Amino acid sequence: MPYWLFKSEPDCYGIQHLAAEPRQTTRWDGIRNYQARNLLRDQIAKDDTVLFYHSRCKAMGIVGTAKVVSGAYPDPLQFDSSSSYFDGKSCLETPRWFSVDIQLQEVFAQVISMQTIKYIQALDNMVLRKQSRLSVQPVTEQEFKILIQLKNSMH
């Protein structure tokens, strides 16, 4: 069961927004980067686990977990001309951008901060540390376990 990290700016859409959704479920849409698209379309599957990360804010870091509750499907916003995510070069037959649905699993009592993540040597190879701009990233099982242990050790 693979693990992923999804980034979001909490001013735009934070984990509290997810918690307030009906069934605490939302469509992860608006991803407009090919590397992230490839992961969504080809790798990410139902029942995978997502680390929810808050970027560009005061308390940067991992704030909770979610479950992938759908397979990948075309992001409807690419066909919506009123959306800022509209892509006129995409077409229904061969959609360019994809979404999955995620459901909130847990809101951590404390954020696993960027500083903490940087401090842990076993997390040196996290994609987050190397290729920080990718907004949908793979997380290894070992990295995931370390992060969960860390979360459980914080009060």
Partner DNA sequence: GCCAACGTTGGC
- Interface with DNA by CB under 7 A: which residues? 7, 9, 32-35, 55-56, 60, 114-115, 118, 128, 131-135
Q: How do the residues of the chain divide into helix, strand and coil, expressed in percent and rounded to 5?
A: 35, 30, 35
End-to-end CA distance of the chain: 28
Minimum distance from residue 60 beta carbon to DNA (Å): 5
Minimum distance from residue 38 beta carbon to DNA (Å): 10
Nearer to DNA, 22 or 88 (CB): 88
Which residues touch 90 (CB under 8 Å, ≥6 apart)? 78, 79, 96, 97
Minimum distance from residue 109 beta carbon to DNA (Å): 21
Nearer to DNA, 131 or 142 (CB): 131
Residue with tokens 């376990």: 145
CB 104 within 8 A of CB 145: no
Nearer to DNA, 8 or 26 (CB): 8
Nearer to DNA, 121 or 152 (CB): 121
CA-closest candidate to residue 59, choices 9, 120, 18: 9
Minimum distance from residue 33 beta carbon to DNA (Å): 5
